């Protein structure tokens, strides 16, 4: 039969599976490939027959698809080991995730801790050496209910599926699964159990809490070691730890989930916000601010009172219900409606740094990453339908400019129309999705489709940032909305003098300012670029009596150049003060001694570097000023 491989039509044996195809087309891959990819999306097991006419490629361990397959398969390997060690345990879901996999397990009256990981890993290694094949089976719902009758979690899932069900067997273990899987357990050698967490079945706090075991599996010992090294770096760079050490922010039981920013943290935040103001001014945004607390009627109009009230803080004022805002959008609608707009006014861009409050579950709170009070850097842009594509491209230019400053790369995900409970015509959705896709393509940005994950009122683009330690963060969003403009009666006057509802683009760059600061703390490991650093330069006189006067002159020159400078006098030995400047991660450290006093120079060292450089004072002022103005790493 004919298939397509590496862009060429080739002949292979009728009904050949992946092993036979690899043997004929690329023998080196026969015992290394994990699966066969058909076209752009679908992957099958190596032992499944390849459909005639398919365009194929082999899924290798070092690819993104290969990583996912190994981790999905390793979740089954771990489950089999757990079943051997804890025969009465029952399994929920066990998916692959971005950096590994997890499995939710009901251990009954048994308690499992990280102290048990060594025994679990030992059993997994034993099963790996046995090279147990992963065998796919397709069965009826009735058969599935019989096989999994002792597992209420699987039974619940089976009853939702009115179709043929696929399972995978490996030796004495069987699990519900769509697949695909690696050929056998010997392909899984380099794995590590990482941590435990509690997880309610299906994320519902009304359900039983299961034990979630996180783990990871890699294609080689070296790759696994590199990943574990990154995890250690992440622990060292934990923003909660660094935030305390660097005096940036604090948390208090008097206000759970509501961070306090300390003096140095406020310098960091204000530097970030100063940049935000300048960028938005350059891109034609009008900045507004709306009240923190508004009446129930507003939230009823927006729909939040009916659908989000449990996450809102409410109170009564003069016998009327009020709520502290959980988002800025409704206030922005009122600001837009304050005046009449012509079609010539559009796009009309409103930006707001609004302080919002959301009642998050106490168990979900996490430093600056998950809080109850935060600053949302929102923008609400009213456009005509024919302006959507150009405005989206304009926003992406802004995103490119902002994220590049921080050295953050990103990928874009386009979320499309939900299967049900959406508003607007299918034609609106199809056109809107095509416009967003074309805006990405014509701007030179690749994107992935996330089918059915759009909001009920419109499709969206999510910008997934990648930091210096390989983690992905959801920050930027561009979302189409025809719901709120309709609810609030927003309109513009078109060229015929008639009222027309605009389309609104919701847009955030940083998302939560507090969360973005947490991301930056970990991204930089607390060693901020000079323009963001709370203290940009430390001045260390070797001896205050001999060098103090010149050190003060140096400090004054830097202050006059708008440099944030701190004098560290000689109450402590010079070596201690140098180490302290490094601990505080100050970008530039100046040592002032006899030579510098005599020559009118400074001796500077950049954080993280050993070299010391001597230059005239005037030249150093230019160097550090350039580092600040260029927003350079140093």
Pick the catalytic residue from 372, 417, 506, 555.
506
Helices and strands counted in the chain (H then E): 19, 33
- Choose the weakest-confidence range: 11-15, 332-336, 577-581, 607-611: 11-15
Give the mean model confidence (pLDDT) for residues 76-98.
95
Pick the catalytic residue from 181, 380, 507, 547.
380
pLDDT tens for each residue of 505-538 = 999 999 899 999 999 999 999 999 999 999 999 9
> Which of 268, 308, 284, 477 has its CA nearest to residue 376?
477
> Which of 359, 308, 361 has its CA nearest to residue 330?
308
CA distances (Å), 455 to each of 3, 271, 420, 449, 480, in order?
40, 33, 11, 14, 9
Three-state DSSP at 427 gives helix
376 is catalytic: yes
Pick the catalytic residue from 45, 104, 378, 462.
378
In the structure, what pLDDT confidence band is assigned to residue 27 with cuts at 50, 70 and 90? confident
217 is catalytic: no
**pLDDT score, position 470:** 81
Q: Which two tokens stand for residue 78?
A: 């771990």
Give the mean model confidence (pLDDT) for residues 237-255.
94
**pLDDT score, position 203:** 83
Pick the catalytic residue from 80, 170, 350, 376.
376
Is the predicted pLDDT of residue 427 greater than 90, yes or no?
Answer: no
> Which of 193, 268, 205 has its CA nearest to residue 231?
193
Distance CA 294, CA 440 (A): 37
In the structure, what pLDDT confidence band is assigned to residue 190 with cuts at 50, 70 and 90? very high
CA distances (Å), 609 to each of 4, 316, 339, 585, 612, in order?
53, 58, 56, 11, 8
Tell me the backbone φ, ψ of residue 471, rounded to 5 degrees: -85, 155
Is the predicted pLDDT of residue 376 greater than 80, yes or no?
Answer: yes
Rg (CA), the chain: 29
Is the predicted pLDDT of residue 623 greater than 90, yes or no?
Answer: yes
**pLDDT score, position 571:** 80
Element (H, E) at 224: helix 221-236
Q: Which two tokens stand for residue 21?
A: 């195809």
Pick the catalytic residue from 189, 264, 358, 523.
358
β-bridge mates for residue 37, sequence order: 43, 57
In the structure, what pLDDT confidence band is assigned to residue 344 with cuts at 50, 70 and 90? very high
Element (H, E) at 528: none
> pTM for this one?
0.84
378 is catalytic: yes
Is the predicted pLDDT of residue 456 greater than 90, yes or no?
Answer: no
Q: Which two tokens stand for residue 427?
A: 């034609």
Give the mean model confidence (pLDDT) for residues 238-262.
95
Pick the catalytic residue from 74, 89, 167, 329.
329
Residue ranges and CATH numbers for the domains of the chain are 2-60 (3.10.20.30), 65-235 (3.30.980.10), 263-288+329-352+379-510 (3.30.930.10), 537-629 (3.40.50.800)
Q: How does DSSP classify residue 140?
A: -
CA distances (Å), 352 to each of 230, 329, 524, in order?
36, 10, 27
**pLDDT score, position 467:** 86
Q: Give me the percent of the chain exceeding a pLDDT of 70.
A: 100
175 is catalytic: no
Three-state DSSP at 323 gives strand
**pLDDT score, position 18:** 85
**pLDDT score, position 341:** 96
Which range, 290-299, 417-426, 468-477, has the best average confidence (pLDDT)? Answer: 290-299
490 is catalytic: no
**pLDDT score, position 133:** 96
pLDDT tens for each residue of 580-622 = 999 999 999 999 999 999 999 999 999 988 899 999 999 999 9
**pLDDT score, position 466:** 87
Q: Which two tokens stand for residue 121?
A: 């890993």
Pick the catalytic residue from 460, 507, 547, 605.
460
**pLDDT score, position 634:** 67
Distance CA 115, CA 139 (A): 38
Distance CA 268, CA 188 (A): 45
β-bridge mates for residue 322, sequence order: 295, 315
């Amino acid at each position: 039969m004919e298939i397509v491989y590496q862009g060429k039509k080739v002949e292979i044996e009728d009904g050949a599976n992946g092993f036979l195809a690899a043997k004929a087309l690329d023998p080196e891959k026969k015992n290394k490939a994990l699966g066969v990819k058909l076209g752009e999306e679908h992957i099958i097991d190596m032992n499944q027959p390849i459909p005639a006419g398919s365009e194929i490629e082999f899924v290798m361990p070092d690819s993104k698809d290969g990583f996912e397959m190994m981790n999905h398969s390793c979740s089954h390997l771990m489950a089999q080991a757990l079943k051997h060690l804890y025969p009465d345990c029952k399994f929920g879901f066990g998916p692959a995730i971005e950096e590994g996999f997890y499995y939710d397990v009901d251990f009954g009256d048994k308690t499992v801790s990280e102290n048990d990981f060594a025994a679990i890993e030992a059993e997994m290694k034993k099963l790996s050496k046995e090279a147990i094949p992963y065998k796919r089976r397709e069965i009826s719902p009735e058969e599935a209910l019989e096989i999994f009758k002792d597992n209420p979690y699987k039974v619940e899932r089976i009853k939702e599926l009115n179709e043929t069900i696929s399972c995978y067997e490996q030796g004495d273990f069987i699990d519900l699964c769509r697949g695909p899987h690696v050929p056998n357990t010997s392909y899984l050698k380099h794995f590590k159990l990482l941590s435990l967490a509690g997880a309610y079945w299906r994320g519902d706090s009304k359900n039983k809490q299961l034990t979630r075991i996180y783990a990871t599996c890699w294609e080689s010992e070296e790759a696994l070691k590199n990943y574990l090294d990154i995890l250690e770096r992440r622990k060292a760079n934990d923003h909660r730890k660094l935030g305390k050490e660097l005096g940036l922010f604090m948390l208090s039981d008097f206000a759970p989930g509501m961070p306090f920013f300390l003096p140095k943290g406020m310098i960091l935040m204000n530097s970030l916000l100063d940049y935000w103001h300048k960028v938005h001014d350059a891109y034609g945004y009008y900045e507004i601010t709306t009240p923190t607390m508004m009446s129930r009627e507003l939230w009823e109009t927006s729909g939040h009172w009916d659908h989000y009230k449990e996450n809102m803080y409410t109170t009564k004022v003069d016998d009327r219900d009020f709520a502290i805002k959980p988002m800025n959008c409704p206030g922005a609608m009122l600001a837009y409606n304050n005046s009449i707009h012509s079609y010539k006014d559009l796009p009309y861009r409103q930006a707001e740094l609004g302080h919002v409050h959301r009642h998050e579950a106490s168990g979900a709170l996490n430093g600056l990453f998950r809080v109850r009070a935060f600053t949302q850097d929102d923008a609400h842009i009213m456009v005509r339908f024919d302006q959507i594509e150009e405005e989206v491209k304009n926003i992406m230019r802004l995103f490119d400019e902002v994220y590049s400053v921080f050295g953050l790369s990103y990928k874009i995900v386009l979320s499309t129309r939900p299967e049900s409970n959406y508003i607007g015509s299918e034609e609106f959705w199809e056109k809107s999705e095509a416009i967003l896709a074309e805006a990405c393509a014509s701007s030179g940005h690749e994107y992935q489709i996330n089918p059915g994950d759009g909001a009920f009122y419109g499709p969206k683009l999510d910008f997934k940032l990648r930091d210096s330690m390989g983690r992905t963060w959801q920050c930027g969003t561009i979302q189409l909305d025809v719901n709120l403009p309709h609810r609030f009666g927003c309109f513009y006057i078109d060229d015929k003098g008639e009222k027309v509802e605009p389309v609104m683009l919701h847009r955030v760059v940083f998302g939560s300012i507090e969360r973005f600061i947490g991301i930056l703390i970990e991204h930089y490991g607390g060693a901020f670029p000079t323009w963001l650093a709370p203290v940009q330069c430390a001045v260390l006189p070797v001896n205050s009596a001999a060098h103090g006067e010149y050190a003060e002159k140096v400090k004054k020159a830097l202050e006059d150049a708008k440099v944030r400078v701190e004098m560290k006098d000689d109450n402590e030995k010079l070596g201690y003060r140098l180490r302290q400047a490094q601990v505080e991660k100050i970008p530039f450290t100046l040592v002032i001694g006899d030579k510098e006093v005599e020559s009118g120079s400074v001796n500077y060292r950049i954080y993280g570097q050993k070299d010391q450089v001597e230059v005239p004072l005037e030249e150093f002022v230019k160097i550090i000023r350039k580092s600040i103005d260029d927003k350079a790493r140093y």
